[in-house]
Structure 1
Amino acid sequence: MRCQPFTDSQVYIWTKNKQTCLLCAEAADTEHPLCSSCEGELPWLGGHCLVCALPLPASGLTCGACQKRAPSFARVEAAWRYAFPVDSLITRFKHQAQWPMGRLLAELLSHHLQHAFAEGLPRPDLLLPVPLGRKRLRSRGFNQAGMLADWLGKSLRRPVQEHWLLRPQEGAHQQELDAAARKRNLRQAFTLDERAEVHGRHIALVDDVLTTGATAEALARLLRNAGAARVDVYCLARTPKPGD
């Protein structure tokens, strides 16, 4: 039994549906729910550290911290500085469950990564989202890093293993701590699932924001110790140094 009228043309083509900019509510003139004016005003990451993506005054530099002690991850790829309005979009996605905001940012990050791959960035074998502890996952209802990894995985055509990284121990919220306290808070916080097969693989960690890099360092060290060949970090935004 036919449920569509007899016609040679499609009744509805979703790709031609007019979208509204999620920032200014005007008609979107791009392929995303974002107008070109608002897209151009996003705090795109300019000059930054070639390793940890810390915002710097010029391009092609490595920050002092990475020169002094190389991190366990090879490279951080972030699209923006953590500043308005990206910080607001991430907050609405992460803490208010406004998932279209996260989906929009994930699509734009995917475009950034595709450009980086074209410029020579090695493609990872798989994506691993930064895990949440059980208590925090129950409270929030979802893992924003897991959702970002799923969206990126589909766009980049990379497999995602959401349950290989575990966080059995929960400490204080990282956002409430300074850099030294963040490192102490993450000691032995993460483990690998016994089914995880990371040996010899190039892995990309996925998270929303990189602040001090303590979480990324702890996870990258865990993966490298388990035999991972390379660990990169993909995140939406990178915070500048305090005061910058």
Structure 2
Amino acid sequence: MSVAPHRTPTTRCKPAARWPILDTIVLHRFFTKPWRALAHAHLPSQCAICGGWPAQRVCEHCAASFAQPRPRCRSCALPLPGGATQCGQCLLHPPPLDTCIAAVDYDYPWAGVLADFKFHGDPSWAAPLAALLRSTPWAEPAIEAADWLVPIPLTRERLGERGFNQAQRIALALASGKTRDDLLLRVRATPDQHALGRAQRLANLQAVFAVDPLRAQELSGGTVLLVDDVMTTGATLHTAAQVLRRAGAAHVSALVVARADLRER
């Protein structure tokens, strides 16, 4: 007597309910940092200003429209009438910076771009902002002449909030081999300076910066290029420059993405 072979039922099982949830988790992990930053840095996307697609972070049309070079004071980077090279304030009171170079005004659309860079956790803005700086007149020679690019340091608390130092990211994108974030230290936190004038900012910045004593000898006779994203009154950069000069730096200049013009407010 033959026995019929056992057959496995052919009915397909329905997918378990957990798969959609798992897919969501996987996709979420994939598109969060650092993968999101990597995608922004290497893949075409919308222009952050005009919304055109596909484009780089800032398309060529917007760069040409909003990043045209303009005459600036060689000492503080404030806009000047054509033909002038230094503003009256810098002639009367020479700042501790040999030169100061800014790519754009701190205005539309760059104020929004820099806010996205600093406060919305998008470090991939560093590369396009560095490219903007390199295209600025006199920026390339300043980078080449510098022994060190020194980003303005953040406090430990601010660094923890943002997850990165925007000035350091820009400096690394400009010249990673020259960038030093271990020379200038921020040894004291300051109150929020957003709404303060220059005198109040300078008072807040007293004893904020220091040079690492174990590395101070490296600055002796050297040329330093300070790097920051925004220059408002100049108090931060001037204080940092004074500290570097006291430590032995022979030349200190500054390179910033945007310069605020408080004369217009």
Match of 2:53 among 11, 14, 27: 27
In the alignment of these two chains, the number of paired residues is 223
**Cα-Cα RMSD:** 2.3
Equivalent position of 2:169 in the other structure: 147
Cα displacement string for residues 111-137 of structure 1 (whole angstroms, at most 9, x for unaligned residues): 326x5446x886111100001111221
1:42-89 deviation line (CA, Å, top 9, x unaligned): 154412112111112324331111111111110011110111001110
Check whether the contact 2:143–2:149 (CA below 8 A) recurs between aligned residues: no
Write the mapping of 1:172-211 to structure 2, written as runs, cut at 5 A.
172-196=191-215, 197-211=218-232
In structure 2, relative to structure 1, the CA distance for the partners of 1:178 and 1:240 (3 Å cut) is same
Equivalent position of 2:95 in the other structure: 71
Match of 1:104 among 107, 123, 128: 128
Q: 1:25 to 1:121 in 2, by over 3 A?
A: closer
Q: Assess if the C-alpha contact under 8 Å between 1:74 and 1:231 holds in 2.
A: yes
Aligned CA distance change for structure 1 residues 90 and 187 (closer, same or farther; 3 Å):
same
Amino acid at match of 2:122: Q
Q: CA deviation at 1:233?
A: 0.2
Return the alpha-carbon distance in structure 2 between the equivalents of residues 35 and 149 of structure 1: 22
Letter in 2 for 1:189: V
User: How far did 1:38 drift?
Assistant: 1.0
Q: Alignment partner for residue 71 of structure 2, among 28, 42, 47?
A: 47
Find out whether 1:133 has 2:155 as its counterpart: yes
Which region of structure 1 is more displaced relative to structure 2, 41-50 or 88-97? 41-50
Of the three residues 165, 170, 193, the one matched with 2:189 is 170
Higher helix proportion: 2
Superimposed CA distance per residue, residues 175-217 of structure 1 (whole angstroms, 9 cap, x where no aligned partner): 1311110010011111111232211110000000111111111
Aligned to 1:123: 145
| TM-score between both structures, scaled by the size of structure 1 | 0.83
Does the 8 Å CA contact 1:82/1:209 hold for their aligned counterparts? Answer: yes
What SS class does the counterpart of residue 41 from structure 1 fall into?
helix
Structure 2: which 5+ runs fail to align?
1-41
Distance 1:175 1:98 in 2: 21
| Aligned equivalent of 1:231 | 252
The 1-side partners of 2:68 and 2:206 are apart by 32
Structure 2: distance between partners of 1:190 and 1:112: 28
For 2:43 and 2:119, the matched residues in 1 are separated by: 29
1:171, distance to aligned residue in structure 2 (A): 1.4
Distance 2:226 2:97 in 1: 9
Structure 1 Cα separation of the partners of residues 144 and 95 of structure 2: 18
From the CA coordinates, give the structure whose radius of gyration is larger.
2
Identity %: 34
Q: Does 1:94 align with 2:113?
A: no
Deviation of 1:101 after TM superposition, in Å, equals 2.8
Question: Deviation of residue 19 (structure 1)?
Answer: 5.0
In the alignment, is the contact (CA less than 8 A) between 1:45 and 1:81 conserved in 2? Answer: no
C-alpha distance in 1 between matches for 2:191 and 2:171:
24
CA distance in 2, matches of 1:184, 1:44: 35
The reply on whether 1:84 has 2:105 as its aligned counterpart is no
Partner Cα distance (1:23, 1:61) in 2: 31
Q: Does 1:60 align with 2:84?
A: yes
